[in-house]
């Protein structure tokens, strides 16, 4: 069979994998942003106990590989009766990982708001909440956009690791087809194309968005 | 006797171990303009920032309008509404328009109605000649214009005391005058109480009722404005004044 | 049950083998990092040169390694490259090569970012005293960029170390692969062993990466403090 | 473009010149090299696995060592997963695959199989509490397999209504079964027997499904020299009764009563 | 006639489409001190940067020491060794000690021996009163000290022409004098040829042999120093001078 035929035949499977990758990434990214924002807020407002817990979570999550986190969730936890299906494991794992990256992204933005801006806000009598609402958050979000964008791309790539827990996303699909039909060139090519279709446009959009947002709040 | 707006007693301030303000005592009466002069690093900014609680101090007391301030963040937050402050850096919020910058305090902090606040903001903008920029963003203004807006923003809260910390230091020489004019109008026409840190000696001479000369965190002298520039009491102040013009 | 599970680690040479696997991981990461960081600095410098063509090619290189997940890179280099190009390296070397090239790509972006954020007047004062381009990089720009980029570099290092977990997919006997062997060989005797084996791997990665992250964070914080006066 | 850049920056230049000729490892070349590279499993007791002392052992491993011995070279083991056995040969990572490699028509097109040394067919293991005894019970259910195995192939082509959960390694698939991630697991029946011997809660409900199949050593397509040598080697080992011995030492202790040597070893 | 160190003829400079220098013509003789004055944005920095090739120009010619400069990067690099330049921002290299900052040019560019270069560097450091800081890093110095070192670094190359671009603009007022003193010593005692951009009018008046007054990228007037400050020829220059003191 020619390469072209191989590719054509595998198209439906790759399409499925592609959709699944997209879908899991989307949920993972949204979840990560939510978790990250919560952790970041807990830190910003120095919420007693919860803030500490969030900080510990961030360190654990950032300093261990997703693969090991997934193995844990998928293979080790059920031993003690805590079982999620593969997709849930993947999503939970991705959010567990992504949450800390996003939290760091937000923190970086909030910390990046200049001290003078904060003091000026205080000087006109803004309360802590108002200061956050009108000064720190609007500027901080803008500052954190590049980090958040980089994290999104990072998380999408990380979904490739889901292959180890049998989620039929792009990478799993390719590796599986290779195992059955031995046409590695064609399938890996499809795999690269699959990621490129997601990531190249996204990275372009994010770059434009970064500039827009930045211009909106800082004018340069 | 005139009403004492602010009074500082035995104020001591440390940055970690570094002792930057030593036993500071002074008061400012209603309508009075005090110039805070002294070499770089003498503690002028630190002192002025202690007056509205942006810096914590370790000992001493600040009395505002006859009331001793218990220095908690909550209390300071209330008092800051009555104290306007303008910094050296053009410190407008880049994410808000000129008008929104000005309204933030009156509307969100003092809960004035938006209409009333806008009306007075526009009056103030007229006074500084920048009414046409009310919907512009800070990035569209020059440095001098930004500083004028910053002054308006502070005035919009109707403060009882204004603090100016080297507000012209980062302006182009040609822009300085416009800003200083506004401050001196404020001092003369509106009879505003203010403490001014500046290194424009001519300007200080023109507006100051009294001069506090600071060095190494100590008040070296407190002299009437007219007198300070002609015959400063200490040698240090004399040397300082000499160095200020080439 | 949970109590007995931990004993799986102390059966036979299991623990020593896990550490052996960890050593493989660390070795690959270390060599790849040394090579990748050096190459990355060179590429980063080249990316600040005026030549458009050069910049374009290097940008392409960066984006290639950015966009393709590391899993896929490993497969490409391990299985496809030998067939297509006649280049054939053992798994450990392929892994080292892939990680080095990937590190170089990411590093080149960090270096470039740091170089262009050295203030313009620094570059100009260098030129004003007559430094040549090479001298300008050698004495002024690179030393300053290094201190700017250090936290980002450390973070890259932690990421590379974490990503070595993917080595198990290309026949490298890394800590996870050894872990799987241990799990499988002791499955019936220690049903909860899987928890402890993956648990210790989890801890191993954390113990390596956490101090590095902490260091990077501390430096970043210091710099922020300095920037804020 | 990028690939070529990467290739030339590696140490390829020295090996590239000789690549054309070494892209097949002839017996001569292997002897000259002094090592034979053999792809094996690392997590499939009792065929190819690593014991707690860290030694590679199992039925395939014993055979592998014997082959190396007869070639008078040292064996070098490369651990593979089922789905990269073909690539390991094609990309010249190994000379020989002894990793429970079932002969199938598809595989014959991409690698060359030597004479088989083992019989298998696909079996299905399930919990005793909810045993699966007929393929029809699997329709619409999750069945666990490892990527690139004959079990996967069989169910993909012949039983399309069975949902497959596909894993990379044996460890992962058995763990998944224990976590009830599927109703059953399909793989070569012989080591399902071995596995259930230690897992009293599970049973090989379907002992054989699909065609009878053979397991054979594989070499890179076109490597006639090694293929011929291996064919002769298997015949001679068979004559010497090697496989019975191998069976008795490596497999018998793991299998239950239901398995007889003649189910596995080819006479 | 005195020797012409630098001569500019019909210089035109654009930033993209923006025309920032229009037909600039002037020359500077050996030992002469030229002050370049003008409002912000008039093109002073741009002009001075064209003189040592930091900015490319689109038309016109620069002659240095009688030789027409073919404006390639290579040529400029050679000529820059003979032209010292000091900028507004404290532009010492933060990664090098004071001494290494100074030696970089003489040793690496001019290939002087390290000993000889160190000896002359130390002499210069003595002159600006900063010998004791030779092993300090720039971050340990005040702004005024940094600028003095920057001047020494430029002088260490033994330049035939010095360019100063608002070197005191970001200094504390008390530090300004020390730096200006050094420049005026240089002008008077060492008879150094220099072009000085400044907004310290008193200083300019004191040192300038000649004043070039720039506006909107054009030279509006070229007048002898003493005359410019008393009776500027153009109204624009008059207005400018008026605005510079409060
Ligand atoms: N955040 C800080 N931490 C430690 N020391 C500080 C801090 N801020 C200021 N200082 C020190 O406190 C002293 C007083 O500083 P301050 O800024 O009040 O001086 P200043 O009179 O306003 O000087 P300038 O005229 O340069 O603005 C200085 O020695 C300064 O180095
Ligand atoms: N890199 C640049 N790109 C585009 N325009 C520029 C650039 N640098 C300067 N300009 C413009 O060129 C004109 C001259 O600028 P220049 O900096 O030379 O003025 P200047 O006289 O030095 O002003 P200042 O006193 O503020 O330093 C200004 O209108 C400025 O906006
Ligand atoms: Mg100050
Ligand atoms: Mg300028």
CATH code where residue C195 lies: 1.10.3720.10
Are A63 and C206 a contacting pair at CB < 8 A?
A: yes
Please identify among residues 86-145 of chain C the ones whose CB lies closer than 8 Å to any CB of chain E.
119, 121-122, 124-132, 135, 139-140, 143-144
Core vs surface per residue D39-69: b (16+ CB within 10 A) or e: bbbbbbbbbbbbbbebebbbbbbbbbbbbbe
Q: Are E53 and E229 in contact (CB under 8 A)?
A: no
In chain C, what is the greatest distance between 2 CA atoms, to the nearest angstrom?
A: 75
Q: D100 touching A, CB under 8 A?
A: no
- Total number of domains constituting chain A: 1
Mutational test site, ligand 2, from E12, E44, E56, E89, max ligand atoms within 8 Å of CB: E44
- Distance from the E234 Cα atom to the nearest Cα atom in chain C, whole angstroms: 34
Long-range pairs for B105-112: beta carbons < 8 A, 24 or more residues apart: B105/A124, B105/A125, B105/A126, B105/B81, B105/B153, B105/B156, B105/B157, B106/B156, B106/B157, B108/A126, B108/A130, B108/A134, B109/A124, B109/A125, B109/A126, B109/A127, B109/A130, B109/B81, B109/B157, B110/A125, B110/B81, B110/B157
**Residue A63 C-beta-side C-alpha neighbours within 13 Å:** 22
Ligand 2 near E18 CB (within 6 A): yes
- What are the start-end ranges of the H helices in chain B? 44-50, 73-80, 98-103, 114-127, 143-155, 173-188, 201-207, 225-230, 235-244
Compute the distance from residue C229 Cα to the ligand 1 centre, in Å: 9
Q: Which domain holds residue E141?
A: 4-42+72-243
E180-237 confidence digits (pLDDT tens): 888 988 888 888 999 999 988 888 988 899 999 999 999 999 989 888 888 888 888 8
B165-218 confidence digits (pLDDT tens): 988 887 877 778 888 888 888 888 888 999 999 988 888 888 899 999 999 999
Torsion, Cα E42 E46 E48 E50, to 10 degrees, reads -140
One-character DSSP codes across D58-82: SHHHHHHHHHHHHHTSEEEEEE--G
Share of chain D above pLDDT 90, in %: 36
Whether pLDDT at C207 is above 90: yes
Count of positions (residues) in chain E = 246
Please identify among residues 24-53 of chain E the ones whose CB lies closer than 8 Å to any CB of chain B.
39-40
- What are the start-end ranges of the H helices in E3-43? none
Interface probe, candidates C60, C71, C219, chain A, greatest A C-beta count within 10 A: C71
What is the rounded average pLDDT for all residues in chain E? 89
- Could you list the beta-strand ranges (E) of D133-261: 142-146, 163-167, 184-188, 202-215, 218-220
Mean pLDDT across C54-80: 89
CA C155-C79-C175 angle, to 5 degrees, is 45
Chain C CB contacts of E94 below 8 Å: 144
Whether pLDDT at B77 is above 50: yes
Mean pLDDT across E105-122: 93
Chain E CB contacts of C122 below 8 Å: 91, 93
We report the CATH number of the domain holding residue B160 as 3.40.50.300
On whether residue B48 sits in a domain, the answer given is: no
Core vs surface per residue B50-70: b (16+ CB within 10 A) or e: bbbbbbebeebebebeeeebe
Q: Are D36 and D96 in contact (CB under 8 A)?
A: yes
Helix axes A137-158 and A184-218, enclosed angle (nearest 10): 180
Q: Are E218 and E212 in contact (CB under 8 A)?
A: no
Q: Are B160 and B32 in contact (CB under 8 A)?
A: no
Question: In the complex, which subunits touch A with 3 or more CB pairs below 8 angstroms?
Answer: B, C, D
Q: Which token pair is D66? A: 């014997």
pLDDT of residue D230: 93
Confirm whether the ipTM is greater than 0.95: no
Sign of CA dihedral D18, D20, D23, D29: negative
* Helix and strand element counts for chain A (H, E): 9, 0
Under the banding of pLDDT at 50, 70 and 90, the label for residue D197 is confident
**Which residues of chain A fall below pLDDT 50?**
none
- Could you list the beta-strand ranges (E) of chain A: none
pLDDT of residue A59: 94
On whether residue E60 sits in a domain, the answer given is: no
Q: Which domain holds residue C154?
A: 5-228
Ligand 2 near E52 CB (within 6 A): no
What is the rounded average pLDDT for all residues in chain B? 89
| Phi–psi pair at E184, nearest 5 degrees | -75, -30
On whether residue E100 sits in a domain, the answer given is: yes
Please state, in angstroms and rounded to a whole number, the distance separating the CA atoms of residues A129 and C70: 43
We report the CATH number of the domain holding residue A170 as 1.10.3720.10
Element (H, E) at B219: strand B218-224
On whether residue B64 sits in a domain, the answer given is: no
- Nearest CB among C97, C173, C187 relative to D174 is that of C187
Are A83 and D180 a contacting pair at CB < 8 A?
A: yes
SS3 track for A48-97: HHHHHHHHHHHHHHHCCCHHHHHHHHHHHHHHHCCCCCHHHHHHHHHHHH
Place of tokens 């259930």: D196
State the CB neighbour count (10 A cutoff) for residue B119.
Answer: 11
Around ligand 1, the residues with Cβ closer than 6 Å are: B 15, 18, 20, 38, 40-46; E 172
On whether residue B105 sits in a domain, the answer given is: yes
- Total number of domains constituting chain B: 1
Mean pLDDT across E68-78: 90
D209-248 confidence digits (pLDDT tens): 888 889 999 999 889 999 999 999 999 999 998 988 888 8
On whether residue E59 sits in a domain, the answer given is: no
Q: Which domain holds residue A138?
A: 3-218
Q: Which token pair is D133? A: 């005894």
On whether residue E12 sits in a domain, the answer given is: yes
CB-count burial class (<10 Å; 0-12, 13-18, 19+) for D240: exposed
Measured by CA distance, the residue closest to atom 30 of ligand 1 is: B41
On whether residue E52 sits in a domain, the answer given is: no
pLDDT of residue E195: 95
Asked whether at least 3 C-beta pairs link E and D within 8 Å, the reply is no
Whether pLDDT at C115 is above 80: yes
Share of chain C above pLDDT 90, in %: 40
Q: Which token pair is E53? A: 């090739």
- Nearest CB among C71, C199, C205 relative to A63 is that of C205
């Amino acid at each position: 069979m020619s390469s072209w035929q191989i590719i054509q035949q595998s198209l439906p499977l790759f399409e499925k994998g592609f959709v699944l990758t997209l879908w899991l990434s989307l949920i993972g990214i949204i979840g990560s942003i939510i978790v990250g924002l919560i952790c970041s807020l807990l830190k910003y407002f120095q919420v007693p106990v919860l803030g500490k817990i969030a900080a510990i979570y961030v360190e654990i999550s950032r300093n261990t590989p997703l693969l090991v986190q997934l193995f844990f969730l998928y293979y080790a936890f059920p031993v003690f009766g805590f079982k999620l299906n593969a997709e849930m494991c993947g999503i939970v794992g991705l959010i567990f990982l992504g949450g800390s990256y996003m939290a760091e992204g937000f923190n970086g933005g909030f910390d990046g708001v200049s001290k003078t801006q904060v003091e000026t806000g205080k000087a006109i009598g803004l309360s802590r909440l108002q200061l956050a609402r009108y000064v720190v958050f609007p500027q901080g979000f803008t500052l954190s956009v590049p980090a958040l964008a980089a994290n999104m791309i990072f998380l999408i790539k990380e979904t490739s690791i889901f292959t180890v827990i049998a989620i039929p996303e792009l990478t799993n699909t390719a590796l599986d087809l290779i195992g059955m039909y031995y046409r590695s060139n064609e399938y890996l090519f499809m795999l690269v194309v699959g990621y490129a279709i997601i990531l190249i446009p996204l990275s372009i959009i994010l770059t434009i968005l970064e500039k827009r947002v930045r211009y909106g709040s800082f004018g340069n | 006797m005139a009403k004492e707006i602010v009074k500082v007693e035995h104020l001591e301030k440390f940055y970690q171990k570094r002792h930057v303000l030593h036993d500071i005592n002074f008061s400012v009466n209603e309508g009075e303009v005090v110039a805070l002069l002294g070499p770089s690093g003498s503690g002028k900014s630190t002192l002025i920032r202690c007056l509205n609680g942006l810096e914590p101090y370790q000992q001493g007391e600040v009395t505002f309008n006859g009331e001793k301030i218990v220095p908690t963040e909550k209390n300071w937050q209330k008092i800051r509404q009555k104290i306007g402050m303008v910094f050296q850096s053009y410190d407008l919020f880049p994410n808000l328009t000129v008008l929104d910058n000005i309204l933030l305090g009156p509307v969100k902090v003092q809960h004035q109605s938006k209409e009333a606040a806008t009306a007075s903001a526009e009056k103030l903008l007229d006074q500084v000649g920048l009414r046409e920029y009310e919907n512009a963003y800070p990035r569209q203004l020059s440095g001098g214009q930004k500083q004028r807006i910053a002054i308006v923003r502070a005035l919009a809260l109707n403060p009882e005391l204004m603090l100016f910390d080297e507000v012209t230091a980062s302006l182009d020489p040609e822009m300085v005058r416009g800003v200083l004019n506004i401050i001196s109008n404020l001092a003369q026409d509106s009879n505003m109480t203010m403490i001014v840190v500046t290194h424009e000696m001519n300007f200080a001479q023109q507006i100051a009722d009294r001069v506090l000369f600071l060095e190494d965190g100590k008040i070296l002298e407190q002299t009437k404005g007219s007198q300070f520039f002609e015959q400063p009491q200490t040698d240090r102040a004399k040397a300082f004044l000499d160095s200020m013009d080439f | 049950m949970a109590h007995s599970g931990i004993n799986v680690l102390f059966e036979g040479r299991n623990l020593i083998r896990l550490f052996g696997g960890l050593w493989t991981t660390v070795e690959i990461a270390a060599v790849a990092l040394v090579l990748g960081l050096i190459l990355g600095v060179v590429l980063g410098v080249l990316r600040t040169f005026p030549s458009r063509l050069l910049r374009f090619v290097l940008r392409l290189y960066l984006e290639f390694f950015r966009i393709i997940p590391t899993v896929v890179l490993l497969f490409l280099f391990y299985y496809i490259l030998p067939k297509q190009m006649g280049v054939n390296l053992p798994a450990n070397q392929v892994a080292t090569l892939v990680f080095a090239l990937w590190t170089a790509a990411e590093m080149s972006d960090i270096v470039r970012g740091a170089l262009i954020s050295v203030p313009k007047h620094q570059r100009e004062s260098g030129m004003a005293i007559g430094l040549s381009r090479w001298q300008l990089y050698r004495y002024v720009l690179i030393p300053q960029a290094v201190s700017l980029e250090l936290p980002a570099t450390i973070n890259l290092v932690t990421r590379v170390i974490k990503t070595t977990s993917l080595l198990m997919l290309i026949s490298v006997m890394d800590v996870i692969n050894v872990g799987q062997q241990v799990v499988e060989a002791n499955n019936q005797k220690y049903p909860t062993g899987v928890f402890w084996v993956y648990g210790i791997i989890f801890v191993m990665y954390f113990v390596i990466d956490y101090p590095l992250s902490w260091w990077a964070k501390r430096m970043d914080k210091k710099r922020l403090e300095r920037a804020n006066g | 473009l990028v690939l070529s850049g990467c290739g030339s920056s590696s140490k390829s230049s020295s090996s590239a010149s000789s690549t054309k000729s070494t892209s097949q490892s002839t017996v001569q070349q292997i002897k000259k090299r002094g090592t034979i590279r053999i792809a094996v499993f690392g997590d499939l007791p009792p065929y190819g696995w690593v014991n707690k002392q860290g030694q590679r052992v199992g039925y395939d491993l014993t055979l592998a060592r014997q082959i190396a011995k007869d070639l008078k070279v040292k064996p070098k083991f490369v651990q593979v997963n089922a789905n990269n056995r073909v690539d390991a040969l094609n990309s010249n990572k190994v000379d020989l695959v002894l990793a429970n490699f079932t002969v199938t028509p598809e595989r014959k097109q991409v690698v060359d199989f030597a004479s088989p040394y083992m019989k298998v067919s696909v079996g299905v293991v399930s919990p005793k509490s909810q045993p699966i005894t007929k393929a029809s019970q699997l329709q619409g259910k999750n069945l666990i397999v490892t990527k690139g195995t004959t079990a996967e192939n069989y169910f993909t082509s012949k039983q399309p209504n069975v949902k497959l959960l596909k894993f990379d390694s044996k460890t992962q698939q058995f763990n998944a079964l224990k976590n009830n991630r599927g109703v059953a697991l399909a793989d070569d029946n012989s080591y399902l027997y071995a596995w259930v011997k230690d897992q009293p809660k599970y049973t090989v409900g379907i002992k054989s499904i699909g065609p009878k199949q053979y397991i054979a050593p594989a070499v890179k397509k076109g490597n006639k020299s090694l293929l011929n040598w291996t064919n002769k080697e298997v015949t001679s080992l068979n004559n010497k009764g090697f496989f019975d011995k191998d069976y008795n030492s490596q497999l018998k202790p793991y299998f239950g009563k239901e398995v007889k040597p003649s189910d596995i070893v080819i006479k």
